[in-house]
Amino acid sequence: MPGRTSDDDEDGQRVGEAAQHPGGTPARSRLRRATALLVGATLFSGLVQARTAPPAYADTPDGRVVDVSVNSLSPTVPAKGDALTVTGTVTNKSKHAVSGAHVGVEIAPQGPLSSRSAIGDVSTGAPHSPTDGEEVPGHTVPVDDLPAGITRSFTLEIPVEDLDLGPDGVYQLGVSLTGQTRNRGYDEYLGIERTFLPWYPDGDAKPTRYTFLWPLVDRPHLAVRSEGDDQQSPIFLNDDLAKDLAPGGRLQQMVALGRDLPVTWVVDPDLLATVDAMTRRYQVAGPGGDLDHTTSGTGTEDAKRWLNSLKEAVAGEEVVALPFADPDIASIAHHGKDVPGTLNHLKTATELATATVEPILGVTPDTDVSWPVEGAVDSSIVDVATSAGADKVIARSDSLGESDDLHYTPTSARPIGGGTTAVVADAGLSKAFQGDMTKAGPSALAVQKYLAQTLMITMQAPDRQRSVVVAPQRMAKASQAQAMAQAITEVARSGWAETVDFSAAARATPDPRANRKVPGAGSYPKRLRKQELSTSSFREIQGTQGKLDDFMALLSKPDRVRTPFGNALMRSMSTEWRGSPRRSAAYRMAISDYLSDLMSLVYLLPKTGTLTLSGRSGTIPVTVKNELGQTVQGLELRLTSSQGNSLNPGDAQPVTVEGGHTRSLKFEGTAARNGLNTVTAQLYTADGAKFGYPITFQVDVTSITSTVMLVIAAGLLLLVLAGVRMYHQRKRRAAADGEDGDPDPSEDDAEDDADPSGDGDTGEDEDDAAEGTMGDRDGVLDEQPGDLAPDTSPESTDPSGTGEKVDR
């Protein structure tokens, strides 16, 4: 019991004197003495309590008047003899000023936390409570008065030995502010931040082997359309990637930090190909995605520096390459695998991974790894992954969970049948840096919690060495990457951990007690299922692929189309479209529309007016134009008449047109009777599918007219009469010559030929008339106005003229 003070003695003396006052009876005196003693004891007890009791707890809705932020602990893992330095800030959230405040630290009295779940149960937002422990005496730092809304920083240093830490383990460390508000005139806890202090001075446990994946993944940036030059210079949908590659950008930070870390690189080959394209001249779409009005890209120099840095970072290190464009394995498994051609896209993406990574980075990657989004797996996802050549599937422990009777974290690798290994990443560690890490407080807390979890994993089974994989989010922000890098660095140099690459983790001896049963499709998270590509999306992709296959069969240089469209279709299945359904749909539509635009550059030139067929047969010309940069072949042009029993426009003809040229094909049409016919011209592929749009035109079949027949008959009659006349003249001359002698017959023949009638008329008019009639019957009319030569330059683009006639 605490001793009495001089003031207490003085009070007791006064009470005794009052009891002995003259005139009082003994009984009354004893009553007064007892009363005085009771009052004195009460006053004494209150005084002692006022001087020794801890502060009260803030009586506010959230229990905290002041927000305490711990921005750093140094060292993050203290050792014996160290001094722990705590820095942070305090912010007055109330409407009242805080005075007489100081910052102190508390160690939770229960000692080391007992489990990983106990770490998760520690709330950083709850008010101060007795379970936080007592403030460590003698190690506080005063804080100036805090007006409402004001923030002040603090630095507190305390020897580790004064924390009175016990055995190895994870301790809860509280950093609190105590002070007074104007409306409450006594000390109280006004705010606290809880964090974790790993303590491992003895270090006698078997270290856990950790594998940290370091992903380089980004969303698609390239448009399917490229420039029309020989290099097919790419067009980017935007220039956002240039910002990520610039100093301080997300991807720049990932490479700059990762090069000094013991990590396994996980790359999307499409990102490498995209950045490689940026190292040369590239264009960026205009406002609203305008591909016709592009601007020059700005990231060329940063792209060169980034690729060079990445090459240096991965030299001699393990690199895992995802399938090209990181296709959404879960979406394919749930909605796309039954759509023809979808699994072929996945296989192609896997094959393209090595062909892309090797020439760019100079390393041969591992391509037999599948990483479903967030490591969520079911049996159908595993089946699709293995069908594309993967024999290792990165899952996560919140998907492939453990039984309740397993009280430690098992080795990540485990066989799941069919020669496939599930590499189950730890969920708690993998999700540790998904929050906002832009401020020092949350970042420092995440690092300390990460360290605490890794130490707790080791302490769960200190005699059992295990191998644990950490697979963070695919697209970590720069601030998240910085926090991850700090945590990985601290774990790697701690005494309770070792680092190994992914291949070693996959080969680790499986724990016989670990779960090896892959969950069924019904266990897949609904939240993730809502983000998947739909079956109709995969059908749309396959429809575009079908059009592309038909189109490539017609081209002399199909690779100029196959590569950009094939890559674009793989990008349309990317995991990075999750959460962006409108952008995903717009991207697929852009691919289909651009392919249709290219196909429309091979077309039939339209005709205007009516063609006239003056007779029973004649040629009908139709012109095909090719505005592509390469030859089109394998098409067939067919003409059909609306009245097949009246006009047969001729047999189908094969079509071959060089790039940038036109070609006119002539069909031998035959007519059975007069009349107006509608003729349709249509291009077809080799398998009979229509190609492009048809054109229609009118053909008017007319018979030989009565006027023409009369002219022909008159000509024939003149010829017959002329022959009869010549015969009689020769006969008369022969008779006359017999009477007068025998003149030179050649002279007579010449005269007869010159004037068979004997009257000086040579008959030229009749012969000319006769020849003119034959010319109308047998001559060939000029080509129709507007029909082009069989093979012309690209400038010939006008439609056929009006009132044209068909050659006979």
Q: Encoding tokens for residue 248? A: 């301080």
Angle between helix axes 478-492 and 440-460 (nearest 10 degrees) is 40
pLDDT of residue 39: 38
pLDDT value at 63 more than 80: no
Can you state the angle between helices 26-52 and 6-19, rounded to 10 degrees?
Answer: 160
Average pLDDT of the segment spanning 691-717: 76
Give the mean model confidence (pLDDT) for residues 553-560: 94
The mean pLDDT value of the chain amounts to 84
pLDDT of residue 749: 42
Q: What is the pLDDT of residue 757?
A: 41
Q: Regarding predicted confidence, which is higher, 508 or 64?
A: 508
- 187: tokens are 């000390």
Task: Look at 24-38, 291-305, 729-743 and tell me which has the smallest mean pLDDT.
Answer: 24-38
| DSSP-derived secondary structure for 757-774 | TSSS---HHHHHHHHHHH
Cα 42 to its chain centre, rounded Å, is 75
Q: By three-state DSSP, how is residue 352 classified?
A: helix
Q: Which strands sit side by side in the sheet containing 647-648, from one edge to the other?
A: 602-604, 617-626, 661-671, 647-648
Count other C-beta atoms under 10 Å from residue 402's C-beta: 16
Enter the tokens of residue 118: 């106990």
pLDDT tens for each residue of 335-347: 999 999 999 999 9
pLDDT of the residue at 261: 98
pLDDT of residue 530: 95
Q: What is the DSSP letter of 25?
A: -
Cα dihedral sign, 154-158-164-166: positive
C-alpha distances (whole Å) from 680 to each of 605, 607, 609, 641, 701 are 12, 11, 14, 6, 16
- Report the C-alpha gap between 506 and 320 in whole angstroms: 13
| Dihedral angle of Cα 390, 395, 399, 403, to the nearest 10 degrees | 100
Q: Residue 233's pLDDT is what?
A: 81
Q: What pLDDT is recorded for position 57?
A: 54
> Is 94 a residue whose pLDDT tops 60?
yes
- Look at residue 278 in the predicted model and tell me its pLDDT: 96
Query: For residue 43, what pLDDT is reported?
Result: 37
pLDDT in tens, 261-286: 999 999 999 999 999 999 999 999 99
- Judge whether residue 738 has pLDDT over 60: no
Highest mean pLDDT pick, 245-259, 694-708, 750-764: 245-259
C-alpha to C-alpha distance for 806 and 620, rounded to whole angstroms: 6
pLDDT at position 31, please?
36
* Token pair for 684: 């077809």
Bond into 26 cis (ω within 30): no
Q: What is the mean pLDDT of residues 678-688?
A: 94
Q: What is the pLDDT, as a whole number, of residue 7?
A: 40
The band of 5, judged by pLDDT with boundaries at 50, 70 and 90, is: very low
Higher-pLDDT residue of 5 and 435 is: 435
Which of 70, 56, 59 lies closest to 194, judged by CA? 70
Say how many C-beta atoms besides its own lie within 10 A of residue 268's C-beta.
27
Whether residue 763 has pLDDT greater than 60: no
The residue length of the chain stands at: 808
pLDDT digits (tens, 9 = 90+) for 215-244: 999 999 999 888 766 666 889 999 999 999
Q: In 362-439, which ranges are continuous DSSP H helix? A: 379-387, 427-430
Q: Give 436-440's long-range contacts (Cβ < 8 A, gap of 24+).
A: 436/479, 437/477, 437/479, 437/480, 437/482, 437/483, 438/479, 439/69, 440/69, 440/71, 440/72
Query: How does residue 60 score in pLDDT terms, banded at 50, 70 and 90?
Result: low
Q: How far apart are CA 5 and CA 46, in angstroms?
A: 14
pLDDT band per the 50, 70, 90 thresholds, residue 740 = low
Residue 163 binned pLDDT confidence (cut-offs 50, 70, 90): very high
- Weakest mean pLDDT among 507-521, 566-580, 694-708: 694-708
Which amino acid belongs to residue 232?
A: Q
Strand partners, 101: 143
Residue 192, pLDDT above cutoff 80: yes
In the prediction, which pLDDT does 62 show? 53
Rounded Cα distance, 502 and 467, in Å: 10
Mean pLDDT of 382-410: 94
3-state secondary structure of 151: strand
482-502 pLDDT tens trace = 999 999 999 999 999 999 999
| 340/481 Cα distance (integer angstroms) | 40
Rounded Cα–Cα distance for residues 435 and 163 (Å): 30
What is the per-residue pLDDT for 710? 63
Instruction: Provide, for the chain, the percentages of residues in helix, strand and coil under a 3-state DSSP scheme, each rounded to the nearest 5.
Output: 40, 25, 35
Is the distance from CB of 620 to CB of 680 less than 8 angstroms? no
Smallest CA-to-CA distance from 223 within 233, 235, 231, 238 is with 235
Question: Rounded CA gap, 15 and 30, in Å?
Answer: 11
Is residue 120 over pLDDT 50? yes
pLDDT at 716: 78
Residue 627: what pLDDT? 96
The contacts of residue 335 (CB under 8 Å, 6+ apart) are 532, 533, 534, 535, 537, 538
Half-sphere exposure of 803 (CA within 13 A, CB side): 0
CA distance 577 to 729: 103
